[in-house]
Structure 1
């Protein structure tokens, strides 16, 4: 498991409107593409420098494809990264102010201290 890789995915996808839309529409395709082409690139560095070993576990990949922010949190993804990305993807589907944020929080309400470790 790589909390770093989960958080890197959430961070990089959230900062590119085209990737946000691809993740919303075709999550399996986007996760596979990102893992194959971007996972091993140095974050925010487009010089071609890369590693070769970073891969999602099956559990991480499944949670990403399912847009399961609760499972992602359990796996160590930072909740602010999932919240900001998922707001960009799903807030437009709601009609009430903060409706998505409230639903997000309600799904996370069963967590008690100590929370899962989100340190990378």
Structure 2
């Protein structure tokens, strides 16, 4: 399991409006593509340097592919990164202000302290 890679996915997808839409419409395909093409690319690196060892495990891959943000939370994905990306994905599906944020809070309401460690 790599909390770093989960957070990197959330961070990079959230910052690209085209990727947000792609992830909304084709989540499994986007996760597969991102893992193959982007996972090992270094953040903020001007050159074409890349690592070779980063990959999601099956649990992470499935949580991302099914938009399962409670599972991502349980895996230690950073809650702010998760919330901001999923607001971009699903806020438009709610009629009331803060509709998605209220759903997010409701779906995570059964979690108790201590929360999963979010350090990477």
Same topology, TM > 0.5: yes
Q: After the TM superposition, which segments of 4 or more aligned residues of structure 1 sit over 6 Å from their partners?
A: none
Partner of 1:117: 117
Partner of 1:69: 69
Partner of 1:32: 32
1:54 and 2:43 equivalent?
no
Distance 1:105 1:46 in 2: 38
Sort the Cα spacing of 1:49 and 1:5 in 2 relative to 1 into closer, same or farther, 3 A: same
**What SS class does the counterpart of residue 62 from structure 2 fall into?**
helix
Which segments of 5 or more consecutive residues in structure 2 lack a partner in the other structure? Answer: none
State the Cα distance separating 1:46 from its structure 2 match: 4.0
1:103 and 2:112 equivalent?
no
- TM-score, normalising length: structure 1: 0.98
Count of residue pairs the alignment pairs up? 120
**What SS class does the counterpart of residue 113 from structure 1 fall into?**
coil
Which segments of 5 or more consecutive residues in structure 1 lack a partner in the other structure? Answer: none
Distance 1:30 1:44 in 2: 21
Distance 2:81 2:26 in 1: 19
**What SS class does the counterpart of residue 86 from structure 1 fall into?**
helix
Residues 79-98 of structure 1 show CA distances to partners (whole Å, capped at 9, x for unaligned) of 11010000001000110011
1:90 and 2:90 equivalent?
yes
**What SS class does the counterpart of residue 36 from structure 1 fall into?**
helix
Residues 38-84 of structure 1 show CA distances to partners (whole Å, capped at 9, x for unaligned) of 00010122411000000000000000001011000111100110100
- TM-score, normalising length: structure 2: 0.98
